[in-house]
Structure 1
Amino acid sequence: MNSIGHFLSNEHWPGTAGRTSDIINPATGSVTGKVSLASKTDVDTVIEVAAQALPAWAATPPAKRAAVMFNFRDLLKRHTKELAELLSAEHGKTLPDAEGEIARGIEVVEFASSIPQVLKGEYSEQVGSQVDSFSVRQPVGIVAGITPFNFPAMVPLWMYPVAIACGNTFVLKPSEKDPTVVLRIAELLAEAGLPEGVFNVVNGDKEAVDALLDHPKIDAVSFVGSTAIGEYIYKRGTDAGKRVQALCGAKNHMIIMPDADMEQVTDALIGSAYGSAGERCMAISVAVPVGEETADRLIESLAPRIQSLKVAPYTDPSSELGPVISKQSFDKIHDYIDQGLEKGATLAVDGRGLKLQGYEDGYFIGGCLFDNVTTDMSIYKEEIFGPVLSVVRGKSYDEAVNMVNDHEYGNGTAIFTRDGDAARDFWSRAQIGMVGINVPIPVPVAYHSFGGWKRSLFGDHHIHGMEGVRFYTRLKTMTTRWPSGIRTGAEFNFTAGKDV
């Protein structure tokens, strides 16, 4: 059985708290390891190490920081399959999904490798008589990252490569449900040449989170997770005077216009609604076909594809849908399905009741499809975070757009259409942070930034890309005037008889 501790000064560290939490294989329901839960004292120890490492790392030339990121990127690429295996074993997602997660994280490391170019300041000559002005961006200090279970590799990689490349030190508090891949990646970062104390991992629960939020030496906090916890972290962190970005929950809609290619729509929904068992903040969980005919064609095309999804553990190469993360999630998803039925929605595809031979205690739920969902139902309003897609039949395009804009969440949305005018109108009007046009999961590439609107984001900055650089740095502007060394009557010619 694995015993997982923390990572401090480029070494594994058991901590002193003596508390642990079980690591459970979601495919079997069995305990595969124990992870240490840090006390406030443990967190204080880790932060002190990060504080000691900060001055030297902040003074390290950006080109040398970038060189570490280049090495790190190569190591991640070399170890992708190993990392994917570790990830899938604890999370449950399929190996191709896990490998894709690692690949998206590597993109951010590649962006962080360009930090010398990104950190270039601005200079204005002669803003006044013999007065010049210029600006630079300097590291904010010690950054804490608090990350969720659903992307245990990628989401942390959205944070610390950019933060570290900008000259900060970093303390990561990952999910205690699947911590192993995080610690293996920490080893690779040390192997890449990162100095001791610059990147540290502390595993824990609410006690560790509160210790990070309250500690006076933590300057900034990045969070990805549920809205309830994100709002708590934002308030507690900002009350303590910290810079906080909290990326939170979602209820992502896809509008399907009558002219859309239904085969393309079906493929898109299978991947975006059921990939990673629906445990994505960018999952499409609401489909809005415009018009009854469009809705009927969608259900006819989609239902058999959902029914044919191969549900299996990640060790089966043909698996398309793995288990959800925990018994708690499993029960919560079933409760939402019951609520939808009680309110009159039609369960067109029922994925409940799966029992896989040899995995009877696993947390497997097949793909579920609700039709005739209305906007007053909990399955429409709330984030289910499972393989459940709701179809809300829209009477018109305007009704569909209003549906998107009236929802409390504003993370991602998409429209499928052949009409360029409708597409442009949609992205212009959508009150959403990330919009896809015939793209079901509009996650930006690493040099753009990821983030939602409304209750999907607390704070002023999105993550990675230039928004990440701005969050992890402070702007400093200098205005300079130097007394002139040139005096009236000065001799500008070489003096005869003297060496030049």
Structure 2
Amino acid sequence: MLLDTSPPWDDVQNYINGDWSTPSGSGQDVVNPATGEAISYVGFSSDDDINTAVKAGQEAFNEWKETSVERRIQPLFKLKQLLEDHQNDLAEILVREHGKTFAEAKGELRRGIENVEVACGIPSMMQAGHLPNAAPEIDETAVRKPLGVFTAVTPFNFPGMIPLWFLPYAVATGNAFILKPSEQDPIVAQRLFEVIDEAGFPDGIVQLVNGSVDTVNALIDHDEIQGVSFVGSTPVAKTVYERAAANGKRVQAQGGAKNHIIVTESADLDFAVKKTVSSACACGGERCLANDVIVVEEAIYDEFANRVIEEAKAQTVGYGLDSKTDIGALITSEHESRVRDMIATGIDEGAEMLLDGRDVEVTGYENGNFLAPTVFGDIDPEMTIAQEEIFGPVLGLLPVDNVDEAIEVLNRSDFGNAASLFTESGADARKVRHQADVGNLGVNAGTAAPMAFFHFGGRNDSFFGDLHAQGEDMVHFYTDKTIYIERWPSA
């Protein structure tokens, strides 16, 4: 199979019960953010579309749950190889509809493939436990069982990776799965499902429905949906969590973030500067792991700020398929305007503008949604740009006297997604490890992105639920344990 990587593309399709179909409702154009041109059209699924998908999923689940776990993972092995084979094709499609660079797109897909690899180990991960003689002449065993049809609602910023946080684990544990991707960049999801179709899953086990908020609500409210996974902004994550819980469903809802980097005077400044700018600006800053508040010990603040400005100036803004590009386009013109408004707010609230990226021009792509790195200095923890998620290539430098004050600044945030520390001091690292109130923490790592065999952390307003994406948490989310109590009086 050769994926079509050159737009314009046909209208985006649903994949229901092993067949492709056009969503019933009207929708919107899919726009290349670097050119402003429509490259496809996505319709929104109706209630009838949703009902058809859920019914097909439930019927497929009734047989799939009885399929041996060894057989269930065979399509995953094939899927892993197919994703490897088509990684470049998928990455090119991702660049055209999202705007990030080709290298970033390939890295995103690599992270998704890692989750498929981990899910292939479900035969070991699903084992639950056995205790002989738990009571006189009684043995007890915990048996994990799948639950039915699950859904995931995924965001625009990682349309190739985040569906694979959920899908492989759901089907490997014996469930059926329905994906609702972002309507802003749904093409790579369709291409993923073309590959999934080739991998050989039974009809109805993996399905794709496109749509907007009404589609999401229909999935959440459907009686036959057992659980919901969501990744997106905090207000929507909280709404999804409350609505799904009110409907008696399992739910995990990853929200927004406001992440911090702490730089101590013992840090390797060259390394810290490079990783700081990359963390804040890679993928156009449209990452829930972007660290955009940089808390720096006063003794090195001026030197660090100067180096950050030079590193930020060195970043090339442009079209994501140009190998020289470091920072691609933002997802929509509306989002670009929102980021520009946040920059203006920073100026109005008194932050020092050290580097202004708003006047960037990309020759040949005048209609694209581009912003260059923007750096603020001497920001205050109470400023809007220090408290709210920006989701653009904007970072703020905040001086502090010591690590204790830096931790206090970090923990003042309403969010708790991630943080990073740059230091050569083990004592400082231990203090941050024990006191920082975040779910993902990196030491001398610009982005605290966990490998697929660990769960993706997050707490406070960054996460609603108790079982996270990736790793062992997914096995717990997609199964329930039956306790089997056994006695044989004649034995």
TM-score band by shorter chain is: over 0.9
Contact 1:6 1:36 in 2 (8 A): no
Corresponding residue of 2:40: 33
Corresponding residue of 1:12: 20
Provide the secondary structure at the position in 1 that maps to 2:260.
strand
The 5 Å alignment of 1:441-480 reads 441-480=447-486
Name the CA distance, whole Å, in 2 between partners of 1:15 and 1:30: 22
Name the CA distance, whole Å, in 2 between partners of 1:44 and 1:9: 12
Larger Rg: 1
Displacement of 1:443 after TM fit? Answer: 1.1
Contact 1:247 1:451 in 2 (8 A): no
Q: Give the one of 204, 208, 218 matched to 2:215.
A: 208
Displacement of 1:138 after TM fit? Answer: 1.0
Provide the secondary structure at the position in 1 that maps to 2:316.
coil
Residue 414 of structure 1 pairs with residue 420 of structure 2:
yes
Residue 290 of structure 1 pairs with residue 311 of structure 2:
no
Residue 375 of structure 1 pairs with residue 381 of structure 2:
yes
Corresponding residue of 1:117: 124
Displacement of 1:49 after TM fit? Answer: 1.0
Displacement of 1:60 after TM fit? Answer: 1.1
Name the CA distance, whole Å, in 1 between partners of 2:293 and 2:466: 27
Corresponding residue of 2:367: 361
Query: Aligned partner of 1:4: which letter?
Result: V
Name the CA distance, whole Å, in 2 between partners of 1:366 and 1:253: 20
Query: Aligned partner of 2:17: which letter?
Result: S
Residue 174 of structure 1 pairs with residue 181 of structure 2:
yes
TM-score between both structures, scaled by the size of structure 2 = 0.97
Displacement of 1:374 after TM fit? Answer: 0.4
Query: Aligned partner of 2:316: which letter?
Result: K
CA RMSD of aligned residues (A): 0.9
Query: Aligned partner of 1:475: which letter?
Result: K
Name the CA distance, whole Å, in 2 between partners of 1:72 and 1:32: 27
Displacement of 1:465 after TM fit? Answer: 0.4
Displacement of 1:463 after TM fit? Answer: 0.8
The 5 Å alignment of 1:78-477 reads 78-291=85-298, 293-477=299-483
Name the CA distance, whole Å, in 1 between partners of 2:79 and 2:178: 18
TM-score between both structures, scaled by the size of structure 1 = 0.95
Name the CA distance, whole Å, in 2 between partners of 1:12 and 1:350: 47
Contact 2:24 2:44 in 1 (8 A): no
Name the CA distance, whole Å, in 2 between partners of 1:16 and 1:177: 18
Query: Aligned partner of 1:234: which letter?
Result: Y
Displacement of 1:474 after TM fit? Answer: 0.8
Residue 483 of structure 1 pairs with residue 489 of structure 2:
yes
Structure 2: runs of 5 or more not aligned: 1-7
Question: What do residues 238-257 of structure 1 show as CA deviations (whole Å, max 9, x unaligned)?
Answer: 00110100011001100000
Provide the secondary structure at the position in 1 that maps to 2:170.
helix
Displacement of 1:121 after TM fit? Answer: 2.4
Name the CA distance, whole Å, in 1 between partners of 2:425 and 2:113: 35
Runs ≥4 in structure 1, deviation > 2 angstroms?
none
Question: What do residues 157-206 of structure 1 show as CA deviations (whole Å, max 9, x unaligned)?
Answer: 00111111111100100001111111111121121111110010111001
Query: Aligned partner of 1:304: which letter?
Result: E
Provide the secondary structure at the position in 2 that maps to 1:154.
coil
Displacement of 1:31 after TM fit? Answer: 1.2
Provide the secondary structure at the position in 2 that maps to 1:392.
strand
Q: Point out the more displaced range, 138-147 or 331-340.
A: 138-147
Provide the secondary structure at the position in 1 that maps to 2:162.
helix
Contact 2:93 2:188 in 1 (8 A): yes
Corresponding residue of 1:489: none
Name the CA distance, whole Å, in 2 between partners of 1:384 and 1:421: 32
Question: What do residues 213-272 of structure 1 show as CA deviations (whole Å, max 9, x unaligned)?
Answer: 100000000001100100000000000110100011001100000110100101111211
Provide the secondary structure at the position in 1 that maps to 2:375.
strand
Name the CA distance, whole Å, in 2 between partners of 1:308 and 1:130: 72
Name the CA distance, whole Å, in 2 between partners of 1:397 and 1:100: 32
Name the CA distance, whole Å, in 2 between partners of 1:425 and 1:160: 37
Percent identity of paired positions between Structure 1 and Structure 2: 37
Name the CA distance, whole Å, in 2 between partners of 1:479 and 1:268: 54
Displacement of 1:310 after TM fit? Answer: 0.6
The 5 Å alignment of 1:5-84 reads 5-17=13-25, 19-84=26-91
Residue correspondences, number:
483
Displacement of 1:347 after TM fit? Answer: 1.2
Name the CA distance, whole Å, in 2 between partners of 1:221 and 1:451: 17
Provide the secondary structure at the position in 2 that maps to 1:120.
coil
Name the CA distance, whole Å, in 2 between partners of 1:140 and 1:347: 53
Provide the secondary structure at the position in 2 that maps to 1:41.
helix
Q: Point out the more displaced range, 371-380 or 352-361.
A: 352-361
Name the CA distance, whole Å, in 1 between partners of 2:175 and 2:204: 11
Query: Aligned partner of 1:146: which letter?
Result: V
Contact 2:173 2:475 in 1 (8 A): yes
Name the CA distance, whole Å, in 2 between partners of 1:219 and 1:288: 42
Displacement of 1:11 after TM fit? Answer: 2.5
